[in-house]
């Protein structure tokens, strides 16, 4: 049943992405409910899998890198479903689905690693890990909004904008969305650090410094946005910083098992 849930989630994200590419290529893309529905069904299937894994292991289902990436993908999907309709960013599903699909496929291709059991004895450690991944989910969606900002900016400068131009949200809306998502992720990440401190568990020094580096990067990014940084730099910062997070995540996961 677990493999069936993963297959269902992968197909949902694949259909959402493929439908968007086909519609854009045919020049008749119209943002509607299909992307939101595809992401919603994919998130439901992922949630089903994580629920089964959590029940089987009696702990938060993030015991190895594969599960961690799935939890991250699920967090991004959930946050999208919350803010997408609210900001009328239905086209965001077209940009979010590829990221979800890539994370899903990577998690499926990773070798079946043994789960480490450090989460079981201490609920504060579970809260710390789960909050961190939800925070990264908000940062991931900020990256998506940043990429949409860059595409929209390029279309605005073009003399002959592509059909997608008419379906992208205004630059001001995307800029506001990036900032709100970064704030949400930053606050969740800070709460995760507080939960980790309450756990009173010694951790690897390198893991602490890598985690602190991520916190400082986003703190600096938010501070820069409040001091008049241009919209393009905001978007680039949100996208590049999340790329750093993705590169550091396997390292932090490995250090957590030591």
pLDDT over 70 at 65, yes or no? yes
Residue 119: predicted pLDDT: 47
3-state secondary structure 151-211: HHHHHHHCCCCCHHHHHCCCHHHHHHHHHHHHHHHHHHHHHHHHHHHHHCCCCCHHHHHHH
Residue 257 per-residue DSSP state: T
Residue 182: predicted pLDDT: 94
pTM of the model: 0.86
Which residues neighbour 223 within 8 Å (Cβ) at sequence distance 6 or greater?
A: none
Separation between Cα atoms, residue 76 and residue 41, nearest integer Å: 14
Q: Where do the domains of the chain lie? A: 2-256
Q: Tens digit of pLDDT for each residue in 185-202?
A: 999 999 999 988 887 777
Q: Tens digit of pLDDT for each residue in 28-58?
A: 666 557 778 888 899 999 999 888 887 887 7
237 by Cβ neighbours in 10 Å (0-12 / 13-18 / 19+) ranks as buried
Q: Tens digit of pLDDT for each residue in 92-130?
A: 777 888 888 889 888 888 876 656 554 456 778 888 888
Average pLDDT, the chain: 82
Cβ-contact 82, 184 below 8 angstroms: no
- The alpha carbon of residue 44 and the mean position of all alpha carbons in its chain are separated, in whole angstroms, by 16
3-state secondary structure 81-108: HHHHHHCCCCCHHHHHHHHHHHHHHHHH
């Amino acid at each position: 049943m677990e493999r069936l849930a993963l297959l269902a989630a992968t197909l949902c994200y694949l259909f959402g992405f493929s439908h968007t590419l086909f519609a854009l290529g045919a020049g008749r893309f119209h943002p509607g409910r299909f992307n939101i529905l595809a992401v919603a069904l994919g998130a439901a299937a992922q949630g089903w899998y994580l629920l089964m894994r959590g029940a089987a292991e009696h702990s938060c289902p993030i015991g190895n890198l594969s599960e961690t990436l799935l939890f991250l993908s699920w967090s991004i999907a959930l946050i999208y479903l919350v803010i997408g309709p609210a900001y009328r960013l239905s086209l965001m599903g077209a940009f979010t689905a590829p990221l979800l699909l890539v994370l899903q496929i990577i998690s499926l291709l990773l070798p079946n690693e043994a789960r480490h059991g450090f989460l079981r004895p201490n609920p504060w450690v579970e809260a710390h890990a789960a909050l961190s991944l939800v925070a990264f989910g908000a940062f991931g969606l900020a990256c998506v909004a940043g990429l949409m900002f860059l595409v929209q900016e390029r279309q605005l400068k073009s003399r002959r904008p592509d059909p997608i131009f008419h379906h992208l949200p205004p630059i001001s809306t995307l800029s506001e969305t990036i900032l709100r998502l970064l704030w949400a992720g930053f606050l969740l990440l800070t709460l995760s650090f507080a939960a980790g401190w309450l756990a009173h568990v010694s951790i690897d020094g390198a893991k602490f410094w890598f985690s602190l580096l991520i916190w400082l990067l986003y703190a600096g990014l938010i501070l820069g946005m409040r001091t008049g940084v241009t919209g393009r730099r905001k978007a680039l910062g949100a996208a590049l910083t999340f790329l750093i997070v993705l590169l550091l995540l396997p390292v932090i996961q490995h250090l957590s098992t030591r």
